[in-house]
Amino acid sequence: MKPSRKFPLTRLRRNRQSANLRDLVAENALSSDDLIQPIFIKEGLKGKESIEPLPGVSRLGLDVLNEEIRELESAGIKAIALFPVIDSSKKDDKGSESLNEDNLVSQAIKQIKEMSEMVIISDVALDPYTSHGHDGLINADGYVDNDLTLPVLTEQALVLAKAGADIIAPSDMMDGRVKSIRDAFEAKGYVNTLILSYAAKYSSKFYGPFREAVGSSANLGVGSKDTYQMDVSNVKEALQEVAMDIEEGADIVMVKPGMPYLDIVKAVKDEFSIPTFAYQVSGEYAMLKGAIEKGWLSEEAFMESLLCFKRAGADCILTYAAKEIALELNK
Ligand code: PBG
């Protein structure tokens, strides 16, 4: 039976009197175990290079990658997501460089594996590698062709698994790619490589700074990803996407973007018992960081935004602020 909560027997403010009391009754908490740091690595770069629309985030050369991993470890971060910025001369309409076993990402994975236990998540999608900036292959009609793309994504996933990625993360939104990759992993002996599926990934305007960071925005031009990424207006379709990816063999599912899509995180978490991650994407980071840098928001707004992901049901959050927030949490 629900107690009747009548004033003044019930004063909800009693529980809020002090910080210690508030902590005792808190329903959710954020810890550095919940944070994943995305990292941009750039081919041929020595040192770091700042990214204008992502203040405080840099592209890293492989020469400074180990140092960054050590810093993340000491901040308490346990996983990273790698994103390559390859030489533009290596981009073509088929994204061929994604299948090169010695490409930038493979090198980075091997390098990190030699020095750290850090969990490595690696994206599966062709956009960092294609001259047109799309995640898949384009057919004669100019359409991003699902079934033509599947074997390439599967091959890309195998390259990443072979290099030593712990988790591969298809972010391309082709239908059937999780099954295709899972089957290939079973057949080739990568039975313990996880698949983190970007299951509910929306065709969002919040990815702008990321596309700038990996250099795919110029290639994509005015083209959109509307024919494969999800329509912003849909909720039930997200549940269908997630259900299919679980059935196809995903170990973890992801919702993306994050903050404007917390209703989707909650819907997925309520419906399925599978680890559910959310991606606080580049545009969300830029909004928050931009306003904080201007002094229009206090720095604590960032922490608040991440706690809200936990409240919605996210088990883990990919955020460009992971290191900085982890340092703050573990102070
Ligand atoms: C690649 C990919 C994108 C992001 C993650 N993987 C961009 C896109 O789909 O265009 C976006 C991440 C971000 O905005 O922070 N498919």
120: tokens are 């490595």
Structural domain spans, the chain:
29-329
Within a 10 A sphere around the Cβ of 12, how many other Cβ atoms?
Answer: 8
Distance 146 CA to ligand 1 centre (A): 18
Give just the sign of the alpha carbon dihedral 169, 90, 281, 236.
negative
- The DSSP 8-state label assigned to residue 2 in this structure reads P
The best mutation among 36, 37, 51, 127 to test binding of ligand 1, ranked by most ligand atoms within 8 Å of the C-beta, falls on 127
Kindly give, in sequence order, each residue whose CB lies less than 8 Å from that of residue 90, ignoring residues fewer than 6 positions away. Answer: 43, 96, 97, 129
Mean pLDDT value across residues 183-189: 98
Distance 178 CA to ligand 1 centre (A): 18
The best mutation among 82, 174, 201, 207 to test binding of ligand 1, ranked by most ligand atoms within 8 Å of the C-beta, falls on 207
Q: Which atom of ligand 1 is nearest to the CA of 207?
A: 14
Asked if the model's pLDDT at residue 304 lies above 80, the reply is: yes
Question: 267, 188 in Cβ contact below 8 A?
Answer: no
In angstroms, what is the C-alpha Rg of the chain? 21
- The DSSP 8-state label assigned to residue 123 in this structure reads E
Closest CA to 272 of 313, 232, 234: 313
Give pLDDT tens digits for 317-329: 999 999 999 999 9
Give pLDDT tens digits for 204-250: 999 999 999 988 877 888 789 999 999 999 999 999 999 999 999 99
The reported pLDDT for the residue numbered 221 is 80
Q: Which atom of ligand 1 is nearest to the CA of 201?
A: 9
Give the position of tokens 């329903």: 27
Pocket of ligand 1 (CB under 6 A): 123, 125, 127, 135, 171-172, 207, 210-211, 225, 281-282
Average pLDDT over the chain, rounded to whole? Answer: 96
What CATH number does the domain located at 29-329 have? 3.20.20.70
Q: How far is CA 203 from CA 37, 39, 63, 229, 273, in A?
A: 22, 22, 34, 5, 25
Distance (Å, rounded) from C-alpha 191 to C-alpha 202? 29
List the beta bridge partners of residue 277.
254, 316
Q: Which atom of ligand 1 is nearest to the CA of 125?
A: 16
Residue 275 confidence class, pLDDT cut points 50, 70, 90: very high
Question: 325, 299 in Cβ contact below 8 A?
Answer: no
Distance (Å, rounded) from C-alpha 68 to C-alpha 248? 35
pTM of the full predicted structure? 0.96
Within a 10 A sphere around the Cβ of 142, how many other Cβ atoms?
Answer: 9
Inter-axis angle of helices 262-271 and 236-248, to 10 degrees?
Answer: 50
